């Protein structure tokens, strides 16, 4: 019987802890347990044999920490020998036992590094590290790949892709939840299930972190979410310190009682983790082996996820923000061309605050590298934004690259009923996972009737099924046409929404605002149409969440239809608004707003002054710059401090943006270009960001290269025409070395360019020693030096 | 819940005994609360036998070349490896502020720095409770004096810190998540003579943030 046959026909039992057993046999602190596969194989065999005798069916090869980071090429141990020996020892122990119901798992643990952007391990490097081990382990004869103790969804994704791309073995993944019910990197049971089911693993579950009693609520939640067999491998309780040692205190008998309870809830695979011994596993198996077994029940739940949270489509309508899209937006187009991610993030935060649950991400512009840009924007968003994303592109190559890098299970916009589109998109959905928007159009165009759109929807659902994609992963867009050109258009769409939901049992989505194209007061029409569509069963809407009327319609609909218990969402959004005093009229002048750091006030005052006829450049020269100077001088004299300096800078920035937009395409005259970078190896970039804001206020054009920047990239940027100054930051003594290297190469390649340095460990002497032209003790000092450089 | 002491937040922001007012004070209070809300503080420690040599300290089987560390551990009978982190959500919070709200990011940064120190102090207080009749010396971290930052990966590996508390090091030996601390803590039968850690061991004497 293969592992998968066994998994789907009976309860299976994993082995238990290995580390404590090996320590009892003499493994020292700092010694890598996997080295014992070669150095002390008899001890590893003894552990396997003990678990076989206890009755385990799934035996983990001693490969948990074996990867190319811990066993680099050229090191004292060969990774290939370590992993091969690990799998072989487990196989040999099974052969000696004579049991045929035992499966050998190639055991993959975390790499020990954090992935970018929180750490420095690139996603594809992580995939490559795991792939290397999987190839060796599969060749050595493992029966399955067990990816366990994962506390980062992104790393788990890398490991699953590596396993699926490097072998044909079944893949099982278990993750670690803390006492707060979350992964260390923030994921929830729902977001994890969404990701792993999307990636097509064969079973999933939970291990380590908690004891069996503390795991119960998480197990219950997982059971309500997953359609896959569930694996539960707890520790022997929570760790406790005794005489300076970590001990686990749940006895085998107590462990078995809790595990019997979990088995009764419907868990298919049970075993142990830290602190559990063959005695624990034996007691567990004795308690559970005769309990009735049932396969997991299929769950008809449509989930999309981010690193942090899942959004379910179905129970109540989902709002998808449409603002990350350059179509018809000059400022957004420019931001994309300039790789101005801060602007894009600003659009994302505003939609999140307005109540969007998922954000659509479209970066399609002529003459740009859309695959690269979609990945860049997706990575920037998922680094800081907990909302799931809807990847929106007509380019399958861009779709694939963004899906691969996406930290979660995305929504995909879109596939259509065209054969070519389905052939391009469905294999991606099958491989990476995703909830895909199916447009109700095909080679013949958009069917004019609801019946025709239903037929296309049916074709999409049936074709998806042939790729192994269930209908719960599809959301049909019956398409919104414009009523000003086709009076019946809205009625057709509404009928299609209802029939697709009722006759196909498939969720629906609409881009609502098309309906009013060409009409005045569009929001009035949009809001009414949106409410009508909700009433006909619409599951998701792509709309502008900054529109108060649309969000109001949505919140009111949820409250009116019992989808907002106690009207809590409605009340949270609107209570207190009426009671709020009207905003005080702009009593402060523009200069005062900047001095006091009042951002909205500064923008409003600038608008007022422009409306009253002030010349834009005059506002800059006569009001904004003098106010900034005053704050800057106060900072340098020590009468005011960094937060105030920065709040004033931000207030000024808000005013500059108003002034800029009043200048109708003309730019403020630039004082000069400054390249800024946090040097290679360093990920602390707050200082650099502060400098950037201040330089921009003083009309310098900043080319911000970001953090962890290799010397060569700094040199390339510095050699561009018009650049006379480079600013480098470094926080740690170790990274000052890379600052020195960057300066050396700058001086060789572009000797005319000046270099200013700053950062916590730097001093004037240190700066002189590494060849900088200027040491800036704070941000204002950089501004002063920049002015000096460009005066010459 | 452990709080970031306000005076420490102000010190990291460069205030020297002065009180911020109005908008700034409100920002500092709001962002301190935000950082405290995002933090999931975790720490771990491991006691190891200690031997001192001419050139450094030997903790269990780990030989560390650092005379400053050896001096710091004089008179100790054993030593603790220690690591603590606020978790990755605080890094995200700061990164989020940094995208367009740099004043907020600077305050986040200061609140997080104050909070991780408070978490470490609380952890050391708990640890001290495990050693009745003995004394814990101040934390001595990689990067202090001649205790090299390159000790970071080994220190983390011996604590199993990546798995236990999600704390890792980058290839440049910086901690990730950023708002984290690692240290060696001596355990001694007698209270030490003033073994100051932190600022007093740092050679940057004109630092704005020096205590």
B interface mutation test: which of A647, A693, A729 has the most B CBs within 10 A?
A647
A interface mutation test: which of B29, B85, B102 has the most A CBs within 10 A?
B102
Within A265-330, strands assigned E span 269-270, 302-305, 310-313, 318-324
> Binning pLDDT at 50, 70 and 90, where does residue B195 land?
very low
Give contacts of B 25-54 with A, CB under 8 A: 27-28, 40, 46-48
pLDDT attached to residue A639 = 87
Please indicate if any CB of chain A lies within 8 Å of the CB of B172. yes
Contact between chains at A641 and B60 (C-beta distance less than 8 A): no
Question: Could you say which of A28, A649, A686 has the minimum Cβ distance to residue B98?
Answer: A686
Cα B196 from Cα A777, distance rounded (Å): 26
> Please, what is the average pLDDT of chain A?
94
pLDDT attached to residue A665 = 66
Give the tens place of pLDDT for each residue, A179-193: 999 999 999 999 999
Find the helix or strand (DSSP H, E) in which B96 lies.
helix B88-98
How many C-beta atoms lie closer than 10 Å to residue A86's C-beta?
31
Contact between chains at B99 and A641 (C-beta distance less than 8 A): no
Give the tens place of pLDDT for each residue, A744-775: 999 999 999 999 999 888 889 989 999 999 99
Find the helix or strand (DSSP H, E) in which A606 lies.
helix A599-611
Question: Do residues A434 and A464 make contact, with C-beta atoms less than 8 angstroms apart?
Answer: no
> Binning pLDDT at 50, 70 and 90, where does residue A434 land?
very high
Nearest chain B residue to A738 by CA distance is B172
Top-confidence range, A321-325, A578-582, A664-668: A321-325
Nearest chain A residue to B22 by CA distance is A596
> Binning pLDDT at 50, 70 and 90, where does residue B188 land?
very high
Give the tens place of pLDDT for each residue, A188-233: 999 999 999 999 999 999 999 999 999 999 999 999 999 999 999 9
What does the radius of gyration of chain B's CA atoms come to, in whole angstroms?
Answer: 18
Indicate if the pLDDT at residue A728 is higher than 90: yes
With contacts defined as CB-CB under 8 Å, which chain A residues touch B28? Answer: 643
Contact between chains at A30 and B158 (C-beta distance less than 8 A): yes
Cα B44 from Cα B54, distance rounded (Å): 29
Distance from CA of B4 to the nearest CA of A (A): 17
The better pLDDT of the pair A19, A189 is held by: A189
pLDDT attached to residue A688 = 92
**Edge-to-edge strands, sheet with A12-13:** A12-13, A269-270, A230-233, A203-207, A171-175, A144-150, A103-108, A58-60
Give the tens place of pLDDT for each residue, B7-43: 999 999 988 778 888 888 999 999 999 999 999 999 9
Question: Could you say which of B18, B101, B158 has the minimum Cβ distance to residue A650?
Answer: B101
The better pLDDT of the pair B136, B198 is held by: B136
Cα B97 from Cα B110, distance rounded (Å): 13
Question: Do residues A304 and A311 make contact, with C-beta atoms less than 8 angstroms apart?
Answer: yes
Nearest chain B residue to A186 by CA distance is B89
The average pLDDT across A641-669 equals 86
How far apart are the two ends of chain B, measured CA to CA in Å?
A: 26
Percent of chain B with pLDDT over 70: 91
Contacts across the A-B interface (CB distance below 8 Å)? 173
Give the tens place of pLDDT for each residue, A34-76: 999 999 999 999 999 999 999 999 999 999 999 999 999 999 9
B interface mutation test: which of A174, A641, A710, A736 has the most B CBs within 10 A?
A641
Within A96-238, strands assigned E span 103-108, 144-150, 171-175, 203-207, 230-233
Please indicate if any CB of chain A lies within 8 Å of the CB of B71. no
Beta bridge partners of A302: A313
The average pLDDT across A373-395 equals 97
Contact between chains at B102 and A178 (C-beta distance less than 8 A): no
A interface mutation test: which of B23, B76, B181 has the most A CBs within 10 A?
B23
Percent of chain A with pLDDT over 70: 98
Give the tens place of pLDDT for each residue, B62-88: 999 999 999 999 999 999 999 999 999
Cα B54 from Cα A68, distance rounded (Å): 35
Distance from CA of A38 to the nearest CA of B (A): 21
Cα A314 from Cα A784, distance rounded (Å): 57
pLDDT attached to residue B191 = 84
Indicate if the pLDDT at residue A578 is higher than 80: no
Within A309-410, strands assigned E span 310-313, 318-324, 358-361, 389-392
Indicate if the pLDDT at residue A726 is higher than 90: yes
Give the tens place of pLDDT for each residue, A481-534: 999 999 999 999 999 999 999 999 999 999 999 999 999 999 999 999 999 999
Hey, what CATH topology would domain B6-201 get? Answer: NADH Oxidase (3.40.109)
The average pLDDT across B117-133 equals 95
Indicate if the pLDDT at residue A555 is higher than 90: yes
- For chain B, what are the domain ranges? 6-201
Q: Alpha helix (H) ranges present in A99-152?
A: 123-139
Indicate if the pLDDT at residue B196 is higher than 90: no
Question: Could you say which of A112, A342, A763 has the minimum Cβ distance to residue B100?
Answer: A342
With contacts defined as CB-CB under 8 Å, which chain B residues touch A346? Answer: 99-100
SS3 of A152, please? Answer: coil
> Please, what is the average pLDDT of chain B?
91
Indicate if the pLDDT at residue A668 is higher than 90: no
Question: Do residues A284 and A13 make contact, with C-beta atoms less than 8 angstroms apart?
Answer: yes
Give the tens place of pLDDT for each residue, B128-160: 999 999 999 999 999 888 999 999 999 999 999
With contacts defined as CB-CB under 8 Å, which chain B residues touch A152? Answer: 166
Please report the domains of chain A, with CATH numbers, ordered by start residue.
3-210 (3.20.20.330), 317-563 (3.20.20.20), 590-661 (1.10.1240.10), 673-789 (3.40.50.280)
Phi, psi (deg, nearest 5) at residue A447: -60, 140
Indicate if the pLDDT at residue B203 is higher than 70: no
**Residue-wise DSSP of B138-191:** PPB-TTSTTS-GGGHHHHHHHHTHHHHH--EE-TTS-EESSSEEEEEEEEESSP
Contact between chains at B22 and A596 (C-beta distance less than 8 A): yes
> Is cis: bond before A501, omega within 30 of 0?
no
Question: Do residues A71 and A35 make contact, with C-beta atoms less than 8 angstroms apart?
Answer: no
Contact between chains at B92 and A119 (C-beta distance less than 8 A): no
B interface mutation test: which of A114, A188, A380 has the most B CBs within 10 A?
A114
Indicate if the pLDDT at residue B199 is higher than 70: no
The better pLDDT of the pair A375, A614 is held by: A375
The better pLDDT of the pair B17, A33 is held by: A33
The length of chain B is 211
The average pLDDT across B103-109 equals 95
pLDDT attached to residue A591 = 93
Question: Could you say which of A241, A342, A641 has the minimum Cβ distance to residue B15?
Answer: A641
With contacts defined as CB-CB under 8 Å, which chain B residues touch A112? Answer: 156-157, 162-163, 168
Indicate if the pLDDT at residue A237 is higher than 80: yes
Instruction: Give me the half-sphere count of Cα atoms (radius 13 Å) on the Cβ side of residue A237.
Output: 16
Query: In this structure, what token pair is assigned to residue A584?
Result: 């005080």
**Residue-wise DSSP of A744-783:** HHHHHH-TTSEEEEE-TT--HHHHHHTT-SEE-SSHHHHH
> Running DSSP on this structure, what letter comes out for residue A516?
G
pLDDT attached to residue A545 = 97
Question: Could you say which of B14, B154, B204 has the minimum Cβ distance to residue A761?
Answer: B204
Contact between chains at A110 and B105 (C-beta distance less than 8 A): no
Indicate if the pLDDT at residue B96 is higher than 90: yes
């Amino acid at each position: 019987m293969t592992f998968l046959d066994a998994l789907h026909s009976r309860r299976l039992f994993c082995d238990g802890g290995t580390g404590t057993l090996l320590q009892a046999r003499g493994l020292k602190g700092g010694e890598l347990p996997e080295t014992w596969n070669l150095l002390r194989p008899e001890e590893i065999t003894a552990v396997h044999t003990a678990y076989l005798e206890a009755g385990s069916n799934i035996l983990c090869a001693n490969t948990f920490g074996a990867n190319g980071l811990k066993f680099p090429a050229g090191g004292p141990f060969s990774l290939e020998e370590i992993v091969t020996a690990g799998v072989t020892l487990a196989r040999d122990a099974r052969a000696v036992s004579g049991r045929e119901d035992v499966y050998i798992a190639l055991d993959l643990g975390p790499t020990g590094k954090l992935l970018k952007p929180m750490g420095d391990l690139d996603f594809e490097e992580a995939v490559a590290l795991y792939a290397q081990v999987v190839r060796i382990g599969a060749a050595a004869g493992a029966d399955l790949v067990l990816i366990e103790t994962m506390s980062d969804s992104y790393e788990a994704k890398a490991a699953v892709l590596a396993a699926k791309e490097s072998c044909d073995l079944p893949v099982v993944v278990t993750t670690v939840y803390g006492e707060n019910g979350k992964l260390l990197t923030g994921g929830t049971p729902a977001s994890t299930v969404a990701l792993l089911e999307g990636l097509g693993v064969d079973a999933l579950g939970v291990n380590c972190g908690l004891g069996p009693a503390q795991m119960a609520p998480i197990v219950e939640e997982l059971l309500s979410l997953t359609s896959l067999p569930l694996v539960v491998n707890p520790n022997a309780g929570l760790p406790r310190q005794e005489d300076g040692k970590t001990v686990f205190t749940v006895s085998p008998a107590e462990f078995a009682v809790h595990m019997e309870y979990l088995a009764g809830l419907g868990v298919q695979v049970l075993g142990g983790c830290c602190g559990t011994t063959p005695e624990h596993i034996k007691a567990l198996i004795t308690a559970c082996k005769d309990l009735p077994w049932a396969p997991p029940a299929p769950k008809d739940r449509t989930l999309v996820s981010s690193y942090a949270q899942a959004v379910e489509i179905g129970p109540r309508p989902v709002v998808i923000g449409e603002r990350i899209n350059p179509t018809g937006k000059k400022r957004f187009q420019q931001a994309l061309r300039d790789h101005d991610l801060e602007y894009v993030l600003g659009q994302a935060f505003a939609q999140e605050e307005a109540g969007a649950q998922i954000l659509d991400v479209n970066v399609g512009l002529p003459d740009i590298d859309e695959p690269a840009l979609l990945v860049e924007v997706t990575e920037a968003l998922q680094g800081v934004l907990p909302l799931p994303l809807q990847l929106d592109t007509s380019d399958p190559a861009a779709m694939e690259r963004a899906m691969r890098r996406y930290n979660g299970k995305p929504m995909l916009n879109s596939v259509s009923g065209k054969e070519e589109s389905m052939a391009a998109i469905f294999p991606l959905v099958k491989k990476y996972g995703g909830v895909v928007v199916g447009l109700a159009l095909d080679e013949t165009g958009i069917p004019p009737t609801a019946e025709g759109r239903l037929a296309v929807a049916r074709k999409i659902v049936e074709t998806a099924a042939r790729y192994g994609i269930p209908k719960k992963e599809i959301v049909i867009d019956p398409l919104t046409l414009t009523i000003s050109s086709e009076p019946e258009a809205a009625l057709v769409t509404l009928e299609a929404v209802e029939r697709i939901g009722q006759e196909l049992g498939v969720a629906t989505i609409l881009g609502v605002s098309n309906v009013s194209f060409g009409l005045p007061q569009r929001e009035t029409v949009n809001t009414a149409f949106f409410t009508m569509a909700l009433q006909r069963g619409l599951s998701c809407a792509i709309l502008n969440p900054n529109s108060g009327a649309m969000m109001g319609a949505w919140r009111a609909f949820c409250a009116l239809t019992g989808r907002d218990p106690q009207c809590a969402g409605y009340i949270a959004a609107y209570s207190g608004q009426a009671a709020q005093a009207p905003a005080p009229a702009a009593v402060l002048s523009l200069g005062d707003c900047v001095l006091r750091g009042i951002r909205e006030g500064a923008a409003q005052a600038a608008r007022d002054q422009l409306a009253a006829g002030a010349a834009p450049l005059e506002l800059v020269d006569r009001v904004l710059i003098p106010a900034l100077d005053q704050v800057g001088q106060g900072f340098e004299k020590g009468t005011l401090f960094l937060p105030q300096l920065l709040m004033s800078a931000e207030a000024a920035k808000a005013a500059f943006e108003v002034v800029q937009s009043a200048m109708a395409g003309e730019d403020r005259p630039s004082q000069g270009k400054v390249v800024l970078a946090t040097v290679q190896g360093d990920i602390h970039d707050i200082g650099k960001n502060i400098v950037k804001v201040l330089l921009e206020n003083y009309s310098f054009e900043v080319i911000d290269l970001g953090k962890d920047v290799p010397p060569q990239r700094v040199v390339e940027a510095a050699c561009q025409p018009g650049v006379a100054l480079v600013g480098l930051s470094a926080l740690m003594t170790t990274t000052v070395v890379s600052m020195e290297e960057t300066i050396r190469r700058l001086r060789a390649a572009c000797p005319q360019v000046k270099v200013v340095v700053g950062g916590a460990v730097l001093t004037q002497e240190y700066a002189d020693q590494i060849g900088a032209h200027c040491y800036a003790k704070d941000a204002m000092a950089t501004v002063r030096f920049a002015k000096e450089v460009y005066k010459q | 819940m452990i709080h970031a002491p306000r005076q420490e937040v102000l010190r990291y922001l460069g205030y020297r005994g002065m009180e911020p007012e109005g908008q700034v004070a409100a920002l500092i209070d709001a962002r301190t609360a935000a950082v405290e809300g995002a933090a999931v503080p975790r720490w771990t420690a491991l006691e190891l036998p200690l031997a001192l040599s001419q050139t450094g300290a030997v903790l269990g089987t780990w030989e560390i070349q650092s005379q400053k560390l050896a001096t710091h551990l004089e008179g100790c009978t054993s030593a603790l490896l220690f690591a603590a982190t606020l978790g990755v959500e605080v890094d995200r919070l700061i990164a989020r502020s940094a995208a367009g709200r740099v004043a907020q990011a600077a305050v986040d940064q200061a609140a997080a720095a104050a909070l991780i120190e408070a978490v470490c102090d609380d952890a050391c207080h708990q640890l001290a409770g495990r050693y009745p009749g003995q004394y814990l010396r101040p934390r001595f971290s990689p990067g202090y004096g001649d205790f090299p930052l390159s000790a970071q990966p080994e220190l983390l590996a011996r604590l199993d810190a990546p798995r236990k508390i999600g704390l890792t090091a980058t290839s440049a030996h910086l901690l990730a998540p950023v708002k984290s601390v690692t240290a060696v803590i001596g355990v001694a039968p007698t209270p030490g003579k003033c073994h100051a850690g932190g600022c007093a061991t740092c050679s940057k004497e004109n630092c704005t943030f020096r205590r």
